[in-house]
Structure 1
Amino acid sequence: MNVLCVAVLYKILLQEDCDFFDVRLGGRTSHPLYFYNHPCQKIPANLDNFYLFKLAYHFYELGHTLVLDRKRVDFVEYALHHFLTFSLILFSYSVGYLPIGAAVMILHDVTDLGCSVFKLTIDITPTAVEVIGYIGMVVPWLYVRLWFFPAHVISRIFEEMNSWHGVRINRHMMIMLTVFLIVLFCMHIFWFYLMVKGLLRRFQAKTWKSGISFATNANNVE
């Protein structure tokens, strides 16, 4: 699913010269304009349809979580994640903030690829493969979600609010969007903490098992 979303969204954004698709994510501009000439922005063909697809998908995910995943240990943060994602997509679509919405969606889908790959390798592959999978998950997360997202997406909102073309923007709506994104960024930090915590737990568990194995072998030798 993540692979499909990334491929389709990249194709949509690259088929035209988007002025909001950052070069650091594979676009063509180093100075993205998320709100320029709003609400008469140049929107790539089929981006609207892709938005509707993502809305339907995340609405399903939210409903599935609330109904069938209530016994999950991480139910609260998992449900909050889906609720926040659905709310952001719905909000940005409703007020016509498709450019920044597309930027946020693509950086999340790209990093979700690494998470999906790591989930496929964990516990069923050699340790070396698990390590590579973990690195492939953490490095993009650090670069995209913990650096690029606040430095080049959230900060751009404040820059455009204070620019000459920002006077056409409803500042209350932009502040609301900024609050949404900051909450999402805080969740990114929390999830990264869980990644590191999970790694430490696995390391401690393997060390403990290795200690038991060594003690058992020693006793057998004696």
Structure 2
Amino acid sequence: MVVRQFLDWFWNPDVWLPPGFDWKDIVPTEEVKYAVPYDLLYAIPIGIGMVFVRYFLERTLFYPLGHLLGIKEQKKLRILPANPTLEKAFTGKGKKAKLFTHKELEELGKKTDLQVRQVERWMRRRAAQGKPTTLAKFSESCWRFLCYLISFLIGVYVLWDKPWLWDILHCWYDYPHHSVTTDIWWYYVYGSSFYWSLLITLAYDAKRKDFWEMSLHHVATLCLLAFSWTCNLTRVGTLVLLLHDFVEPWLEGSKLCKYSKHNGIGDVVSIMFILAWIATRITLFPMHIINSTLFEAPKIIPMFSAYYIFNGMLILLFCLHVFWTYFIAIYVYNALSMNATELKDTRSSSEYVTEPSEEEEGSEFDGKHSGRSTPKGGITRRGLFYEKKQFT
């Protein structure tokens, strides 16, 4: 009885549908198919299945492709000697674990009876533990590139003959009596499944500065798909999917070129990504889609509660786009001002780590040293930890 009352309250048509409409008005029949809210639950097991498909493709296709392109698997680091004092100092730094001054390293050396160079290399190897290799990041980008490309091609195929692709006002004409064809159904399920798989694997992928923003993006996208599906706003939902999917293959393609050292092609792909981002995420998305949902739709259909939530999610996505545009601006600034030949993803926290060389991986903690001294102003040319005043 309580469950029934809760479901009646939750599925109140006054919230989910325009005034004057009830769920019985959009019940699927043999002639007309409408969106059924619970259908998107299929996306969860399919998303879990996509995680296993990714794992299979990584081992059988993406890793061998990376090796073929000259990306080597990182040499396995030797077991790091246990040192509670250094471990406490490392974890105490938190996100600033790379910023040890020369004085701090000297103090740690005195506490542990190690030379400054030994302390520095212990810290570097500690920072390198658990960091994804270039081959792992290459494999991750291969998977994303493949899935986003497939999603975009499906979207083009499905929407090419749909009138709302060419005239967005068709998203509002005769609403909510918008039938959902089989191709639209699968387009939604595929998109939802892919974002579920991304959300599941987010904790295991390469960590980036925008981890929480990316998590929020995936959750917002899934909620947006669920809301548009439940409210039968599938037409505008497919436009949002298509617009977003157009950009991602360029982004992942630029990463693939970077990881495989094809910098010339990577520069071209990066330029294409930036142009696509500006054209779609910063221009078309707010000026075409959000403008239509905020200002054109109210002239054609009456507003209702769930629609305001839907608009709020669209605006949230746009705010995230503006946030990521900041990182793109940094990338462009570095390219123009520094004339860098190899630019990194400014969102990636894993790019900071300088892996120990083969020479450095020798008997580092057995008292055998190369004899090279450590400059007081910083910690060697290859060192990861440095004093901030060097760069000010």
Range into which the TM-score falls when normalised by the shorter chain: 0.7 to 0.9
Q: What is aligned with 2:150?
A: 4
Q: What is aligned with 2:257?
A: 121
Among residues 227, 236, 242, which one is paired with 1:106 in the alignment?
Answer: 242
**Structure 1 pair 50/30, CA: closer, same or farther in 2 (3 Å)?**
closer
Separation in structure 1 between the aligned mates of residue 264 and residue 182 of structure 2, nearest angstrom: 43
Separation in structure 1 between the aligned mates of residue 163 and residue 238 of structure 2, nearest angstrom: 12
1:141 matched to 2:292: no
How big is each residue's C-alpha offset from its partner over 1:17-61, in whole Å with a ceiling of 9 and x where there is no partner?
A: x2211xxxxxxx245422221221144432012212221221121
Separation in structure 2 between the aligned mates of residue 126 and residue 62 of structure 1, nearest angstrom: 30
Q: What is aligned with 1:206?
A: 340
Find runs of 4+ consecutive structure 1 residues off by over 3 angstroms. Answer: 42-45, 69-73, 123-128, 199-207
How big is each residue's C-alpha offset from its partner over 1:141-193, in whole Å with a ceiling of 9 and x where there is no partner?
A: 11111011111100101233332x313xx432222111111110111111111
8 Å Cα contact 1:154/1:181 also seen in 2: yes
Separation in structure 1 between the aligned mates of residue 210 and residue 264 of structure 2, nearest angstrom: 28
Segments of structure 1 that go 5 or more residues without pairing to the other structure are 22-28, 213-222
Among residues 20, 26, 35, which one is paired with 2:164 in the alignment?
Answer: 20
Segments of structure 2 that go 5 or more residues without pairing to the other structure are 1-146, 342-380, 382-392
8 Å Cα contact 1:12/1:44 also seen in 2: no
**Structure 1 pair 140/191, CA: closer, same or farther in 2 (3 Å)?**
same
**Structure 1 pair 40/119, CA: closer, same or farther in 2 (3 Å)?**
same
User: Cα offset for 1:71?
Assistant: 4.8
8 Å Cα contact 1:43/1:99 also seen in 2: no
Q: What is aligned with 2:320?
A: 187
User: Cα offset for 1:83?
Assistant: 1.3
8 Å Cα contact 2:168/2:292 also seen in 1: no
Among residues 196, 201, 205, which one is paired with 1:59 in the alignment?
Answer: 196
Residue pairs, 1:38-187, within 5 angstroms: 38-65=175-202, 67-69=203-205, 71-122=207-258, 124-163=260-299, 165-167=300-302, 170-187=303-320
Separation in structure 2 between the aligned mates of residue 5 and residue 55 of structure 1, nearest angstrom: 11
How big is each residue's C-alpha offset from its partner over 1:40-99, in whole Å with a ceiling of 9 and x where there is no partner?
A: 11444320122122212211211221x435954331112112111111112211221110
RMSD, matched Cα: 2.4
Separation in structure 1 between the aligned mates of residue 305 and residue 211 of structure 2, nearest angstrom: 32
Amino acid at match of 2:196: F
User: Cα offset for 1:110?
Assistant: 0.5
8 Å Cα contact 1:2/1:113 also seen in 2: yes
8 Å Cα contact 2:258/2:266 also seen in 1: yes
Separation in structure 1 between the aligned mates of residue 279 and residue 208 of structure 2, nearest angstrom: 29
Question: Greater Rg, structure 1 or structure 2?
Answer: 2
Choose between structure 1 and 2: higher helix proportion.
Answer: 1
SS in 1 for 2:172: coil
Normalization by structure 1: what TM-score? 0.78
Amino acid at match of 1:13: L
**Structure 1 pair 111/72, CA: closer, same or farther in 2 (3 Å)?**
closer
8 Å Cα contact 1:160/1:166 also seen in 2: no
